[in-house]
Structure 1
Amino acid sequence: MKIIIAAGTGFLGQNLEKYFTEKGHEVYILTRNPKRKNEVYWDAKTLGEWKNLLKDADVVINLAGKSVDCRYTEKNKQEIYSSRIQSTKILQQAFDECTHKPKVWLNASSATIYIHSETHLNTEENGITGDDFSMNICKSWEKEFFKVTTENVRKAALRTSIVLGNNGGAFPKLKMITKFGLGGKQGRGNQNVSWIHVDDFCRAVEFIMNHENISGEINITAPNPISNEELMKKLKRQMKVPFGLNAPVWQLEIASLFLNTERNYY
């Protein structure tokens, strides 16, 4: 297949590219800083030569969006919002102008669209979406994505939980604080962590691509969440770190400042 990954130079994009390339597929990356033969320039805002790649492609995977691993200043919040909406909008325009359209369009979303729950299981059918900055970003993102129905193009929004892998995302930071003896529970420790291994994320994307009956909002996560306390216990055990100091909320606030992120990123 000919697969196009928009904004594919980050953690998820790199793993998807490797996964599909090793299976013999032709993978192209849309990026602001093209450096390799299979990378093509785009700014995620305007049409350009990149739109020609869509012709006769099989799949488009859009991962564009400023990372939420940052402080939520007004400037960053605006960029988090606009980077997701604009990239989705310009891809729709490219689809509209394409004569031989890709059959499948997968757009990133996030499982943070759901309310925090320690008892209710948020499925696609009965999940409860909330009303805060992160949730409203996801709702606006999906609304833009599904606003236009394109004939013969199957769309799926990937409501992905925390993706764990050694080469990016949240996991290296969790390993770092565990290594330095800070791998105890964070806050109360009973908050559920929905997660998926990066290899299973790639397999899930492939599964959605290959099954024509799958469309709409799709949760991509392991079937069983784990408590924060149990997650950190398992991590300490695997890293052979004998102890880990617990971190009350006030310490997490301080740590997040030093890490230049938000406490709820974890």
Structure 2
Amino acid sequence: MKIAITGGTGFVGNVLSEELLKHGHELFILTRNPDKQSAHENITFIGWMTEGATPETHLDGINAFINLAGESINSGRWTEERKRRILASRIEATQEALRIIRNLENKPASFINASAIGIYPSSVSRTYTEASTEQSEDFLGQTVQIWEREAGRAREMGLRVAFMRFGIVLGKGGGALPKMAIPYKLFAGGPVGSGEQWMSWIHIQDIAKGISYTLQHEDIEGPVNLTAPHPLQMNEFGKVLGEVLGRPHWLPVPSLALKAAMGDMSTLVLDGQKVIPEVLLNHGFEFEYPDLKEALQAIYK
């Protein structure tokens, strides 16, 4: 396949690119700085979202378009300006991706758009699958709703659309794990908030494989939960993290302290959802890291 990717030089994008190259695909990575990227066989870097850029002139005949672009939600306090940028970066990138597709004479068959499980309301008692209709009305929930609605417009051009709803991505060098591990490395790890909130996590390698699997299976469309099949509550998650790092799990972190330090961003660790990847499981996808201990051992080995 010939595949266009936005956000292909980011934390998830790099791992996804490696996975797709293993399957023999040809990649066209859209980036604001194509000249700064290292040359790689079967990867073409194309400028986009800059003045005068016309990526569509290089993309006619691609088979799929993967949109991962958007400002990270993990780096920095959520000021009102930052919230505006988080939302705007996703909508503007998605609109530009759709503009590019609209201008292609030979359009791709599939539009695979990043999304997030933040669309589901926080709950200790509920279990969410792709069939769940409840939607959160907090900042993350509204952001995902607007984002998916925009990406869904690709259907008007006859494309299959899949919304890849990322859970908490665990991997080296990015995502939430490095910050979560700091207290444990300082021998100060312990229950966060109530400790009952759900952590629907996924190893970054399974993110890449799940997206690749969705590309190959044309009957998969709509919401796709990218979470491991065995979510854990925060207290259990912390115990496993401490065990893998060889550190104690003992010092509680009160909710009020986190809210004071992180503001609205504290919702990422104080609130949670129990999310099951029913679509992938029903289609026969096999997770490389279905259990947290194995996933963390692979990361920290």
TM-score computed with the length of structure 1 as normaliser:
0.92
| In structure 2, C-alpha distance between the alignment counterparts of 1:46 and 1:215, rounded to whole Å | 33
| In structure 2, C-alpha distance between the alignment counterparts of 1:157 and 1:46, rounded to whole Å | 29
Mean CA deviation greater in 25-34 or 96-105 = 25-34
Runs of 4+ in 1 over 6 A off after TM superposition: none
Counterparts of 1:189-208 in structure 2, within 5 Å, are: 189-208=195-214
Identity %: 35
Does residue 1:262 correspond to 2:268, yes or no?
A: no
Counterparts of 1:26-37 in structure 2, within 5 Å, are: 26-34=26-34, 35-36=36-37, 37=39
One-letter identity of the residue aligned with 2:268? Y
Secondary structure of 2:136 counterpart: coil
Counterparts of 1:232-247 in structure 2, within 5 Å, are: 232-247=238-253
User: Shift in Å at residue 243 of structure 1?
Assistant: 4.4
List runs of 5+ in structure 1 lacking aligned partners: none
One-letter identity of the residue aligned with 2:25? H
| C-alpha distance 96-172 of structure 1, shift in aligned 2 (>3 A) | same
Secondary structure of 1:98 counterpart: coil
One-letter identity of the residue aligned with 2:73? V
> Contact between 2:16 and 2:209, CA under 8 Å: does it hold in 1?
no
User: Shift in Å at residue 148 of structure 1?
Assistant: 4.6
User: Shift in Å at residue 52 of structure 1?
Assistant: 2.5
Mean CA deviation greater in 218-227 or 29-38 = 29-38
One-letter identity of the residue aligned with 1:245? L
User: Shift in Å at residue 47 of structure 1?
Assistant: 7.5
Secondary structure of 2:163 counterpart: strand
Counterpart of 2:20 in structure 1 is: 20
> Contact between 2:120 and 2:141, CA under 8 Å: does it hold in 1?
yes
Mean CA deviation greater in 19-28 or 177-186 = 19-28
| In structure 1, C-alpha distance between the alignment counterparts of 2:130 and 2:82, rounded to whole Å | 29
Counterpart of 1:51 in structure 2 is: 56
Counterpart of 1:228 in structure 2 is: 234
> Contact between 1:182 and 1:247, CA under 8 Å: does it hold in 2?
no
Aligned length: 262
Cα deviation code 1:94-142 (max 9, x no counterpart): 1111011111110111100000111211112124112111111111111
Does residue 1:141 correspond to 2:147, yes or no?
A: yes
**Of 58, 65, 70, which residue of structure 2 is paired with 1:65?**
70
**Of 101, 106, 109, which residue of structure 2 is paired with 1:100?**
106
| In structure 2, C-alpha distance between the alignment counterparts of 1:16 and 1:28, rounded to whole Å | 13
User: Shift in Å at residue 65 of structure 1?
Assistant: 1.1
List runs of 5+ in structure 2 lacking aligned partners: 270-301
User: Shift in Å at residue 254 of structure 1?
Assistant: 4.5
User: Shift in Å at residue 73 of structure 1?
Assistant: 1.2
Cα deviation code 1:5-42 (max 9, x no counterpart): 10222111011011112332222221122222432221
Secondary structure of 2:127 counterpart: coil
**Of 160, 167, 189, which residue of structure 1 is paired with 2:166?**
160
| In structure 2, C-alpha distance between the alignment counterparts of 1:53 and 1:155, rounded to whole Å | 22
